Structure 1
């Protein structure tokens, strides 16, 4: 149990583990497998990026996109109305995923309809990314550098705007050859006046917070060379839907790390209990990559 003890020693009250024996066994399997068997599947918004900075909530990739100056105020207002309507449903601890699913699917469909035939300047996204200055979790640059150095594949699986996610990673010099982004990318066309028209999102199916598993599965099979033999997974996310991003594939080991970005008053907190059932390790209000970095170092050093 040395790994569990070390994690608890380093991160103290922020760490919740429902079954320490199971988690310790998984970590031992990851360490024994080494970096050659490892791959990373991670959400982006409030997982690689922080949930708060200077006591202010950070912007999601959708929020960054909506700050583009060439988008109409009517679009921005309607997008905010959808957010205010559906986010409480997504976060409701008293609803099951099955109960939430039709609402979340409706949210994404309505979001795409709002975008269709919208004219804007694509370069505004690059400017919006720079101006938003989305903060990544402390230690993100270091762990991405280690993953690149050891050629560990990273699938960033996001239900947000893929263009924003990619440009943010580029802005932070983290979109290296081992990193793939699977997300909702804008389907655009050039208009006669030099502007860009949004046709919707690329692909036949939108990625939302509760169907990421299907897309993780498709991505893993379209990159057989990169992921061949990578049967050990560290999965990271901040929502309950993220816990299933491995897509039910028969990996040898999947260690699930959940970032719970809200206050927990007691061990019986309903949100915490849901996260403990979904994730192996739950980190409460931890804005760092510290726990992941510790595990990665143990795996790298077992050579």
Structure 2
């Protein structure tokens, strides 16, 4: 398993997993080398079979998928999105963009160095195509656990999070704000599924977007602070998915669009304190999803509850990592379009 290759000259998007029950269509891939930053008008006018920026081997399958979602209406649609390098940019001014973990500065240089050393050791293992997925999942759990322990031991405060975000170069992709507004106006829920840090993601949304959205919930690793604002622990999750992957790229890095990918989810109950990492994000964690904590003023109206969201059986899934394909596992969806950002 590997990350898809990225180019610093622009963005690429792959649309895959065209599934309409009870018929399963062949995989459809849609690639573009420049960002699509228009919102409703551009999305409605986009014809993948005619655009010079988009390549779709079987465009009629994509049109069938879109038609199915439109016929079902807004009330059946939900968005499931990764955060780092999906909603945010992978490249910013020619440099690697920051993640919600990577931007964090504890105010303690010794511990910042220790976390960087963990990254230098574990990241090559994360993207290695030769490590079995079961072993890699254990390594990711180990990495995240050590990193979170360093954040606690190093005395991280919420003030440090606020300052880190203010000093960061993390940037949203063009069109994200407009997309959020478009979805909120139509009461279409957005579930942000991230292996990063929920509190950091909330602060990024707060500082960069300057508003809250009533339709957005976050499933990520959430911190617990004491009365003085010092990090003391992390909230645990109850379920984790171990994804067994069989694909045409199993023996090496992806060179072309794979023809088939098989994910088998095996669910196990975990004790509190477990973490969300890049290989265990899944819809079963929806029950721990929380709305945005908005210090700028709460949005009007209640957030849609988990049971209602699960009844939305049409899914637009956004991610940048092969593991993100599992974010909708556990959801009994009828129609799904998966979009991978390069």
State if a TM-score over 0.5 links the two structures. yes
What's the TM-score, normalizing by structure 2? 0.66
Aligned residues: 250
Match of 1:202 among 220, 235, 243: 235
Q: Considering only aligned residues, what root-mean-square deviation do their CA atoms show, in Å?
A: 2.7
Indicate yes or no: 2:206 matched with 1:161: no
Cα distance 1:160–1:154, how it changes in 2: closer, same or farther (>3 A)? same
Query: CA–CA distance in 1 between the matches of 2:96 and 2:224?
Result: 29
Matching of residues 1-303 of structure 1 within 5 Å: 6-7=47-48, 9-10=50-51, 12=53, 15=55, 20=59, 22-65=61-104, 67-68=105-106, 70=107, 72-171=108-207, 172-173=209-210, 175-190=212-227, 194=228, 196-203=229-236, 204=272, 205-213=274-282, 215-219=284-288, 223-224=305-306, 226-227=308-309, 229-260=311-342
In structure 2, the gaps of 5 or more residues are 1-27, 29-43, 237-271, 290-303
Is the 8 Å Cα contact of residues 188 and 197 (structure 1) preserved in structure 2?
yes
Alignment partner of 2:101: what SS? helix
In structure 1, the gaps of 5 or more residues are 261-303
Is the 8 Å Cα contact of residues 191 and 216 (structure 2) preserved in structure 1?
yes
Alignment partner of 2:167: what SS? helix
Alignment partner of 1:211: what SS? coil
| Structure whose residues are more often helix by fraction | 1
What's the TM-score, normalizing by structure 1? 0.74
Is the 8 Å Cα contact of residues 234 and 256 (structure 1) preserved in structure 2?
yes
Deviation at 1:6, TM superposition (A): 1.4
Alignment partner of 1:119: what SS? coil
